[in-house]
Amino acid sequence: MIRAVIFDFNGILADDDPIHMHAFRQVAAEEGLDFKDEEYMDRYLPLNDHDCFEQLWQKNSRRLRNGELDELIRRKSVYYFGAIEQKQVLFEGAAEAVRAAASRGHVGIASGASIGEIRHILGTAGLLDCFSTIVAAEDVKRGKPDPEPFRLACDRLREHCAGLEPSECVAVEDSLGGIKSAQSAGMPCLGIAHSYSRDRLEGAKASWVIDSISDFTEWLNTV
> What average pLDDT does the segment 84-101 reach?
93
Mind spelling out the 3-state secondary structure of 130-174? HCCEEECHHHCCCCCCCCHHHHHHHHHHHCCCCCCCHHHEEEEEC
Residue range 6-35, pLDDT digits in tens = 999 999 999 999 999 999 999 999 999 999
- Pair 120, 209 in one domain: yes
- Pair 157, 93 in one domain: yes
- Pair 93, 169 in one domain: yes
- Pair 94, 27 in one domain: no
Q: Which of 213, 29, 11, 201 is nearest to 118 (CA)?
A: 11
Please state, for a pLDDT cut of 70, what percent of the chain lies above it.
Answer: 100
Q: Is 144 left (phi over 0), alpha (psi -120 to 50) or beta?
A: beta
d(CA 121, CA 12): 13
Q: Residue 34 sits in which domain range?
A: 17-84
- Pair 148, 178 in one domain: yes
> Tell me, what amino acid is at 55?
Q
Residue range 164-183, pLDDT digits in tens = 999 999 999 999 999 999 99
* Structural domain total, the chain: 2
CATH number of the domain enclosing 166:
3.40.50.1000
Length of the chain: 223
- Pair 111, 27 in one domain: no
- Pair 54, 120 in one domain: no
Statement: residue 88 has pLDDT above 90: no
- Which of 67, 84, 101 is a domain's end point? 84
- Which of 61, 84, 107 is a domain's end point? 84
Statement: residue 86 has pLDDT above 80: no
- Pair 114, 52 in one domain: no
Q: In what order do the strands lie in the sheet with 106-110?
A: 133-135, 106-110, 4-7, 169-173, 189-192, 208-210
- Which of 84, 116, 135 is a domain's end point? 84
Write down the pLDDT at residue 62: 96
**CA 126, 130, 132, 136 torsion-angle sign:** negative
Write down the pLDDT at residue 87: 81
Contact yes or no for 56/178 (Cβ under 8 A): no
- Pair 194, 155 in one domain: yes
d(CA 132, CA 146): 22
Rg (CA), the chain: 17
- Pair 185, 108 in one domain: yes
CATH number of the domain enclosing 26:
1.10.150.240
d(CA 196, CA 12): 12
- Pair 9, 105 in one domain: yes
Residue range 197-213, pLDDT digits in tens = 999 999 999 999 999 99
Contact yes or no for 56/44 (Cβ under 8 A): yes
Q: What is the C-alpha end-to-end distance of the chain, expressed in Å?
A: 8
d(CA 218, CA 223): 9
Give me the phi and psi of 74, to 5 degrees please: -60, -45
- Pair 79, 188 in one domain: no
